[in-house]
Amino acid sequence: MLEEVVDFAGEALPGASAVPPYSETEFLAELGERVRSSRMRCDLSRRELARRSGISERYIAQIEGGKGNVSVVLLLRLASAIHRSQRQAA
């Protein structure tokens, strides 16, 4: 499972090309956009992602909007839920 999460993190987490000093606001906005695009690529609604990850739909909306300062543990839950959806779609 860790390998799957690392693969998702490489895709979802911005910063590979970030050169300090970077803007935390821009980082969170890009992270949110990557979570949204991953969710949409799996054809998941926020409600369904919330159900599968155990994270509230409202908080997922905040993350996707670049407003939520998400923890690593919550990112793991999102990544796992999205990855399971990718496997089911294949």
In a 3-state reduction of DSSP, which class is residue 47? helix
* Residues sharing a CB contact under 8 Å with residue 33, sequence separation 6 or more, in sequence order: 64, 66
The per-residue pLDDT for 85 is 83
When pLDDT is cut at 50, 70 and 90, the band that residue 12 belongs to is: low
**Residues 79, 82: Cα–Cα separation, whole Å:** 5
Could you read off the pLDDT of 25-76 as tens digits, one per residue? 888 998 999 999 999 999 999 999 999 999 999 999 999 999 988 898 999 9
The per-residue pLDDT for 23 is 82
**Residues 68, 70: Cα–Cα separation, whole Å:** 5
The pTM of this model reads 0.74
